Structure 1
């Protein structure tokens, strides 16, 4: 092999490596006109962004990702890039709602906390109905994940629309209905708009029965399956007080018909304590993670979220449905995959599931290049955090106690590392091309 042939072989090898680290998708985030997905009777400020991967799964699942306070749909798309990348390989759709021009999500008004009542929760559900109908989605595999205001909205969606959502991951959220206490039901970007001082500061306490009755009052007469939930909170959170974790436990154990005391407690990694509860079929349906000394800065880990929803691989059932055949009934007033955009989106499948295979499995931990395991915890190594400001990658503690200003978080380090590797490969490719040209002269 002569020198020129060796250079060509080297170019081919570098090109293959470059393709491996650069995004290969042609899909992009798209805004859907309100007239298309339908906002009649719903808040006019709510907008819809959608990410549909190039290769969709058969009857694709849907993940809704509401933003934090002062966030945007495109911003959340970037912040959750690690989960978007998994959508490319597993073929699920992501919906990024946006409360345009508002401070936070409305998870406290009567209209939002009422099944079929409209409000921000109703607008997001309408987006789900539209997506199910347009893309023949799987109504039994609809999920929500969000941090801070997005976590609050996630818990509201699961409580008010249990017939639509199968599971949720709430990072720094509060119990469903807590945000109604002292809720400032005004529109706009002011630091107290759509804010609940009593709930944010952790001063709303109820018995488990009271919390459960509150959730059940939002959808009177509903007796179907209730979605599972994973809740994360830092013990040093002063924006959305850690005291809300205890109230969250009381609420969801009552709603899900679980005993007061957990099935077990473990420490998936130093400083993180997990309490977990199992359903009658032995599947973990509620988990509460406490992160010692962590403020409003719980990490977001896309691979672990995907594993929790059973979306880390293409196809298959919701993991809870698969683990508990016959124990998870179909959805309520279901629209199904072929239902119209205006029909109720229930589901043929079951409801959400704990990460992993259902018992007290170990945590899903990631370093800079880690892959999702089969356990229950969302632990980030060098991944991006939902933390305190743009520089630290965190949700909003720049605004001070009781304020929701300054909420943002950054891309995970994995995305940045991929970009750096691509840059190095491009530089190496340029050097090799230059050397080849010089030798041929």
Structure 2
């Protein structure tokens, strides 16, 4: 056997080894002992899981991802794999809190709806404080995202701890404080534990002022920055009624000091209506997405969540901070333009600007290609924020591509809404390796003996 054939066979062996072996990565989801992150005086059933990528950004941001009813920390880690993948490249930390052995999160008790009052919200904030200290993380870049009970908890965290969180994405959530109405404050896995029938059914209504006063009562005297929010809801949701969307609008516009009349309304794609509100500096700080014909099934897309938080690239400021120097925590007069934003225009969370804040001073986007939603059975665009699970919903600045889907289980008084996230393989790399191998073998056959 001549040297060339030996060389080809060696390359073949190496190529096959590369195909068979996944990329080496030391990072993995880790459970943190309660005694380490500080559970004293907090609910003993709340546990902490953390994902720290191999290469952390300088002053890494933090994303908190509370699970849906009957969910787990490791389960949410799997469901949000697309966001975890981005954490690996952008260097941010993810916290996956778990209400172990409980039906849902407690977002309705007095202890949870009081700043420094303890409860589940207090436990999650304690995890954030632990992570900030241990990893020298960025206190101005702490975010929350979740669906169903995780969405409810996201809005509670933003309302009760506005000094901790910069922004959130709530999928199928309810207004902060709504869950306290008729709240069943019992622990356990029963279908009515930690559940609010009145809020779930959409029968809780208040004026915007009443909602705002309620949220402000959870942290009396606080006058600082209030987190921005995206809220997504299907019009056919019967688990957490779509009626809560109107209440959410009243609450957050009041909390953020905005008019209830949106600054704009558009239809990014057929079946999806977006309303958006801008702050005094022109940055979109609240968005409400209504998805016609969609039930309690809003799939998760980490790519657009990362873009909304400004985590689709390593380093930099929060996009709102960059766009509004001096007006938000961490902002200054030389904070920069926050990215060109390309031609994102109307896109609320696409890569080209948050809520239409494209151009200089916009959301440090990559160019406006990413759409929020893509039609089809649970498919979303590669740059989109949310899929539909049942097809027919639209997207913003959408580019084509398949994406993430979700499964759903529900009961009459509780739900387990699994936020789906498809894994992406190494097909492209495999194809390139096999093609190169084919060329080498072909040359070997033609080489004269």
TM-score range, shorter chain: 0.7 to 0.9
Bigger relative contact order, structure 1 or 2 (CA pairs below 8 A, ≥6 apart): 1
Structure 2, gaps ≥5 residues long: 332-337, 339-347, 359-367, 387-394, 443-449
Task: Name which of 415, 418, 428 aligns with 2:425.
Answer: 418
Once the two structures are overlaid, the 10-residue window that deviates more, 307-316 or 23-32, is 23-32
TM-superposed deviation, 1:377 = 5.1
3-state secondary structure, aligned to 2:158: helix
The corresponding residue for 1:388 is: none
Structure 1, gaps ≥5 residues long: 332-349, 386-392, 436-441
- Whole-angstrom CA distance in 2 between matches of 1:18 and 1:325: 49
8 A Cα contact 1:112 1:121, kept in partner: yes
3-state secondary structure, aligned to 1:274: strand
The corresponding residue for 1:364 is: 371
Q: Deviations over 1:219-242 (max 9, x none)?
A: 000000000000000111110001
Is the aligned partner of 1:122 residue 2:122?
A: yes
The corresponding residue for 1:322 is: 322
Q: How does 1:263-278 map to 2 (within 5 A)?
A: 263-278=263-278
> CA 1:301 to 1:411, structure 2 compared with 1: closer, same or farther past 3 Å?
closer
3-state secondary structure, aligned to 1:36: helix
- Whole-angstrom CA distance in 2 between matches of 1:193 and 1:209: 30
- Whole-angstrom CA distance in 2 between matches of 1:419 and 1:358: 30
3-state secondary structure, aligned to 2:267: strand
**Aligned pair count?**
402
3-state secondary structure, aligned to 1:418: coil
Q: Deviations over 1:282-318 (max 9, x none)?
A: 0000000111111111120001000000000000000
Q: How does 1:11-26 map to 2 (within 5 A)?
A: 11-12=13-14, 22-26=22-26
The corresponding residue for 2:241 is: 241
TM-superposed deviation, 1:6 = 3.6
The corresponding residue for 2:69 is: 69
The corresponding residue for 2:205 is: 205
TM-superposed deviation, 1:5 = 3.2
- Whole-angstrom CA distance in 1 between matches of 2:146 and 2:232: 11
> CA 1:372 to 1:17, structure 2 compared with 1: closer, same or farther past 3 Å?
farther
- Cα RMSD for the two superposed structures: 3.4
- Whole-angstrom CA distance in 2 between matches of 1:250 and 1:378: 27
Q: Deviations over 1:314-344 (max 9, x none)?
A: 000000000011121459xxxxxxxxxxxxx
Is the aligned partner of 1:384 residue 2:404?
A: yes
3-state secondary structure, aligned to 1:314: coil
> CA 1:156 to 1:365, structure 2 compared with 1: closer, same or farther past 3 Å?
closer
> CA 1:150 to 1:25, structure 2 compared with 1: closer, same or farther past 3 Å?
same
8 A Cα contact 1:300 1:378, kept in partner: no
> CA 1:136 to 1:396, structure 2 compared with 1: closer, same or farther past 3 Å?
same
- Whole-angstrom CA distance in 2 between matches of 1:378 and 1:190: 42
Once the two structures are overlaid, the 10-residue window that deviates more, 302-311 or 366-375, is 366-375
Once the two structures are overlaid, the 10-residue window that deviates more, 24-33 or 423-432, is 423-432
The corresponding residue for 2:33 is: 33
TM-superposed deviation, 1:124 = 0.2
8 A Cα contact 2:108 2:178, kept in partner: yes
Q: Deviations over 1:389-412 (max 9, x none)?
A: xxxx32433x2x3322x4324432
3-state secondary structure, aligned to 1:43: coil
8 A Cα contact 2:111 2:119, kept in partner: yes
Is the aligned partner of 1:172 residue 2:172?
A: yes
The corresponding residue for 1:396 is: 409
Q: Deviations over 1:203-253 (max 9, x none)?
A: 000110010000000000000000000000011111000110010000000
Q: Deviations over 1:84-132 (max 9, x none)?
A: 0100100000000000000000000000000010000000000000000
TM-score (norm 2): 0.81
8 A Cα contact 1:102 1:188, kept in partner: yes
The corresponding residue for 1:338 is: none
3-state secondary structure, aligned to 2:57: coil
> CA 1:120 to 1:210, structure 2 compared with 1: closer, same or farther past 3 Å?
same
8 A Cα contact 1:262 1:277, kept in partner: yes
- Whole-angstrom CA distance in 2 between matches of 1:230 and 1:262: 14
> CA 1:232 to 1:254, structure 2 compared with 1: closer, same or farther past 3 Å?
same
8 A Cα contact 1:69 1:149, kept in partner: yes
Once the two structures are overlaid, the 10-residue window that deviates more, 356-365 or 209-218, is 356-365
TM-score (norm 1): 0.83
The corresponding residue for 2:144 is: 144
